[in-house]
Structure 1
């Protein structure tokens, strides 16, 4: 058996080290973000986020799944106060889940790595629709916040412009 033909040439290893990258401070209120991989076309966003103590994010509904690995600190969902996530915790959130992220005031904050597909549909305290947070929205917010801070949002962005292959043109 021989190796398959190369269908994509890679000139550069696509890698980021958050110890060497600029963090985008308050990319969202109370949340500092390292963007890692943003793919608006396929609805995937991968980030490392640092949550400040006392932060409560809006209640949100997930249209896709989330893989959340807590690196350090502590946080929990308001709906599950006894299930505190601490450094070393891995949480899987199925699509369709609804919850409210909270980082307790005395926790020292939390640091986590997330792989998210789909969107978060955010609601205010009264249950009214606020906004849709997806990979495209996150990308725009992070670019604007980084620019305002005089830094560049550096992340991996898959990229091919969608087009018809030669075979489908009848060639």
Structure 2
């Protein structure tokens, strides 16, 4: 089985994204079967979120984040509100709750500014370092580390492809 086939076979796409006429990629339980419960999902502690599903850090969590971040990255002391909005937006995206473009502008501002700042932090290893520190809970730290690893792999893949195209165009 080649890598593309294996990746496609391992990927479970939500039913709403599969489209009409396409067979589902994963086997769906029949009506007679009870849905299989995953004990891993049921026992995970929840990530702090508000009623609309966005990650929201309470004051204690934010103070913990500021203490951990103080040694890793320099935050603007007069703009803690803007920094908090950025961190909550980034954590919302990293936990898989929303995509950058789905963040409401009224609450978070322009998504592209947030995306660029988050990308800079990812490239510099800030998010990984914060996840290793006690800046977040264990579940949130795990999700941030996974997102950071996926981002770095995607970035490296893009760089390899760009380099291959440049080398091919020189021939």
What TM-score do the two structures reach when normalised by structure 2? Answer: 0.30
Say which structure is richer in helix. 2
Say which structure is richer in strand. 1
Q: Which has the higher contact order (CA 8 A, sep 6+)?
A: 1
What TM-score do the two structures reach when normalised by structure 1? Answer: 0.30
